[in-house]
Structure 1
Amino acid sequence: MRVLIVDDEKHVRQAIQLLANWKEYGVTEVLQASDGEEAVSLIQKHSPQIVMTDMRMPRKDGAALLTWLYEHAPEIKVIVISGYDDFELVRHVIRHGGMDYMLKPVQPDALNEVLEKAVSCWNKEEEGRRRMTKQRIQVNEMRPYYADRLFSDYLGGQGRKEQVLKQLEAEGLLPAANPLCTVAVLAIGQMDMRLYLKFKHQQELLYFTVMNIAKELLRGRGIVFRQLNHHAGEMVLLYNGEPKALQALLQDLNEGVYLTLNRRFHAGISVPHAFPDEWADAYEEASNAVWQRNVLDPAYIHLKQQERFGSERSSKLSSLDEQLRLAALSGSEEQIGSAAALWINKLRERQSITPIELDQWQAELEWIIKQWMEEGQDGGANASEAAAAREEDAILSLNHEGGMDWELYEEQIVQKLQGISTQLIRKHSKDSFFVQDIAAYIERHYQEEISLQDIAAKFYLSREYIARKFKQAYGVTVLDYVSRYRIEKAKLLLHNPHLRIAQIAEMVGYQDEKYFSKVFKKVEGMNPGEYRKEHTLGI
């Protein structure tokens, strides 16, 4: 804190400087001026918080200095120290914001009391100023977000549209009156991995950079805002200029972004729509245009009318579920790489791939892996739930031009499979134990009536899960395993010529001799009597 002492008598200034307990009140610097003119110069240069001034001085006197302070620096606390007990002087001090009027000679206690009061008052008001400044900064920082929220809510149909429009109008955010508006959507979310990593913890800076360039180019021909209700990151331009000029503007925007970020972004454009009634429809058109574009096409601007590849059937990663699972279960880098390459080669045959398909395939792979780990558990998530639960900043496999990056995509699949491999092997090992337990149970109880439902109840697992896991482990169904085990036992018993076939059927769990013979022939290719003759001929 700084204090300025103003008096035309040097010994008075020095006396005041000696009498005050400056350090006690946080004063770190004391300045001196011989008159009002010199005081004004020092105030402008050093900005003191407190001024102690005489009233009768040459050139600019104390009254003139108070008037100047009142007009130019009203926050400064003024203490008058004068040798004149003059009512008019006192009244002038009060009218112009002076805190106190002291008479010479100054007493130390009185001086320090007034100084303490002035310091306390300054600190209190300064705290208020800081608080107000902070609030203004917060308001200014929140204003762009508030505008983005209003626009996004209008597009998403959240709340009453009429009310949102009134708020936008009250904030002066609506574009100039025009019966038609064209919407462009800039796909910030379709960035490449390198740019994503650069701005991973500074997403706001990325949007701020692009938005500033867009605002400079719009020049009153529209507005730009961030779509907050879209997880994949979109910036929306509501353009009320000549529709044909929007493409040129977007090209200029891309050049400006390229100079700043060394990137160009893809944008979708709607056809002109009535504003504001059809604004949301125009946004959907523009958003669909950029998210349904062909990533194999080098163009950056995408129009709603371009229906280029709607007839191509969408590929499903789940069609390779078993190959991918076995590769991950093998733990072999070579097999995992081959499984990933199988999918990549399938996609390379396509004429088009859209960003929305890339996003869906990423979600599908996560869902498939989730299913592998949740097999046997109730309440597994479906594909749409898995997609909804994904991280908002999921990055597509695109290169720096927004095109398909095959190498990156294959690498991402391989990393996913390698990442789950150890867990899947561990889980499979655990699963193998209960499958072996089921097999042992069948071997102990093969003579009894055995059904899949009985086994499911015995082991507290679903029939579907047991059937799938048993088939994976033994290559046959549970019922086929039961049949084959019974037939193996029957083959041993058939070597005994004293046992009738009906008796053998009953001993291995079949109450019906005809059914036993049917099953036996299906497994061995001959009926029990033929088997007995062939294998007991030499006995």
Structure 2
Amino acid sequence: MFKVLIVDDEEWNRNIIKNLGRWDEHSMEVVGEAEDGLEAMRMIERLNPELIITDMRMPGSDGVELMRKMSDRFPDKQVIVVSGYDDFHYARQAIRYKAVDYLLKPIDPQELNVVLARCCVSLRKRTERQGIDLELSSRWAAYEKRLGSYFNDLNGEGLRKVCRELQSDPELEAALKPETIRYLVKDTLLYLRELCAANALAGESDRPAELTDMPNSFQEGVRLISECYVNALEELIKQRKYKNKLHLGEVKSYLDHHYEEPIGLEQLAKLFFVSKEYLSKAFKQEYGLTVTDYVVDLRMKKAMEWLKSDEEVAIKRVAEMIGYEDVSYFHRVFKKHYGISPGEARKGSQGLKISNRKV
């Protein structure tokens, strides 16, 4: 899967792009989001995306500054420019820095996917020239995704199982060339860096950064991956398990990043090594809401943003994006929360005062 980074200072604009792109169809995956050019450069270093979709007008380091820096340090990256202004200056800068295309807001879904398809073809050709078979690359990516899932769940046995399966994959071992192995191992360790940062693992997020001397053999590469992932996970478990007290800010941050997933109180307590009774009481005392109510409140606010910002996104799709597979249940929860249905909220047929709880 080709990795995509979306850069825009407005969250709902990033969400619109994520929703409109037919990523699987184009063999792409959105791996990160940045709010300005400075953050984008840091994420490019960590995530190594092949495609960057960037807004032009952003506070601080804008799209022009980002493309200027990328042209010096990452000239091989593909860039799609997005702007809410039909501004010749920005179009000229996009041409100067060899952007793939220049899209105007509001983004047309068909136009976006035509450009993504063109990028996919170009990236496939580049990949083939580098000797990386797409089918094998996708198989490696599936292992990598499972590693990330087990890491976030603090499942050491799961990590070791994936590494054993990868190590005993004869087709991958026979087909991958040494330069391809180095590329894939480096990419997988960069992913670990991102996992460490997302889990606030102090002192670990930079450790897999020493990537200058990558192994040439398949078995050595998998052993290195296994060692780095297992060591980082053990450090994360130690950090959470033996610190003096529960940091509720970390719990809240975890919920903010995983609200669309089916997370129960018992699972959350297990992840932070406390009893569910203690976690429930402490969270309610700190934020004035139970964990369940906080997640529902967050989901409803996200749903309202979607309903108000993009009429082309179906209500069923909005429900799915915030974690509700049953659209009827979503309708009931939304109406109980706001007093009107999602359809009425979208049409603006009634006044609505959104709760401003300070959480």
**Under a length normalisation based on structure 1, what TM-score does the superposition of the two structures give?**
0.24
**Under a length normalisation based on structure 2, what TM-score does the superposition of the two structures give?**
0.35
- Larger relative contact order (C-alpha < 8 A, sep ≥ 6)? 2
Higher CA-based Rg: 1
